[in-house]
Structure 1
Amino acid sequence: MIDVQTKKEILRRLAAAEIEHDIKVIYAVESGSRAWGFASPNSDYDVRFIYVRKQDWYLSVDVEDKRDVIEYPIVDEMDISGWDIRKALKLFWKSNPSFIEWLQSPIVYKDDDFFVHKARELLPTIAVSQKGIYHYLNMAKANFREYLSKDCVLLKKYFYVLRPLLAVMWLEKYDQPAPIEFEKLRNLVAGNTPLDEAITELLERKKACLETEHIPKLPLINQFIESELDRREPWVASQKDRDADFEVLNRLFKAVLERNEKRSIYNRSL
């Protein structure tokens, strides 16, 4: 899925980030169209990572004011950025769909064999479907209104509407985090032959064309999108929200810090 040389370069840049910022990358994945399964030949590599700092960094009065994101400019189609573990876990508590997608990415560049496994174990008790539905529904609505209402539209934007809309359908049907891969999500409409065929044709064209490809508006797919957006408005409005237990995330945070501290002490002793 990712060629050897590209992966080596991504790992090199992650290692350079560790040195530059005095951090430890504990998890790194592909998060964009390459992970979703509909990349164009010139799609960016959307690399996202979780990092941890030395324990003393977190034991400060102004920790809330410290920057907890690392971002790099896009170079050679590589878009690389990361979140501090504290930020990541706070967003996990809020059922942030981006973080939940990272946990499920099929393309993993780096894994410390601890953090992500513990986080995945917590998914059933932390992830709240209603929050995911709210996020994906608004994403689908915003992209549909902005990009798909014209006679000639940007091809890739169809998938920026279809994927979140299918994620809404998944959350509604199964009440569990939606898979990141588009092929798994589209099984939800496999029984609708004309629509499934239209999506198949669009998907093949997306994989072959450049990111800037424009096409005429597709009435069949637009009709499906509009009907699903309208149908789910009352369902979302009727749901009651809830928050997850923060204490389990506190325990995971402390465990990761202790593990990283022990690793640092061991490395200094060599």
Structure 2
Amino acid sequence: MEMSFKILLDFDQDLANTSSLKFKKFKSEIGAALTEHYKNFYGFVRIYVLGFRSGSVITDFVVETNSVNSTEIATLDNKVAVDLQNKGYNVDPRSFSGVIQGNLPFIKNYDIIYPGTTLQLTCVVPVTMQMETGSWFVNGLPVSNNAKYSITNSPPTLTVQGMSSGDNGNYTFTMTQSTLTFTRKESISVTDVIPPIIQLNKLAINVQCGANENITLECCVTYYLINNVTAKWMDGPDEISSGNFYSSK
């Protein structure tokens, strides 16, 4: 979890130099205060200061944790602010913010996205944020419910009608709770491979129970690279092979 807060102080270029005494002092004292208050956070692994940048003095730090609770984190941030203020750092307590990068891929209804497919993307969000409402973006632009897109919550799902190459790009879901923003971005593309067209001579057959009758099914496959196609007859999940009950060719 990447986080930051602001110290109301003119930025000194020494804070951009990791070898300077001022950088080392700030990093040591701020890192100690962060660790002191975060160490009892449920799921805490470690915390460390990344560095400082201008905009007053923005402190960037990372919290490694196995759990996320925005309410508890906000409470800890306030304690850190008071602690650092007592040490002479003019910390803005309202400036704390954090970003959680989702590491689980979107759940998709298709592994291969063919032209014309209706695509569903479902985002896996932290348990403590599952009741919040988020936003979807396609190539950086927000999307809303219309003829092309449909958005539902719990779990957050984006449905895209009639996928085509024009829909290729980055799909992003974001959700904010208190000072934390969860985000997941993934590249989605439509395959340029056209699937085979499969036609059966009969879609449904009624056969009298116990009738000793041979039934013939025929399948026609149309494909522009027909030599690359392997056709199999299936009975549910099982492949049908020639035997006592079946004869295929």
| Higher strand fraction (1 or 2) | 2
| Higher helix fraction (1 or 2) | 1
TM-score tier after normalising by the smaller chain length: under 0.3
Structure number with greater CO (CA < 8 Å, separation at least 6) is 1
TM-score scaled to structure 2, two decimals?
A: 0.24
TM-score scaled to structure 1, two decimals?
A: 0.23
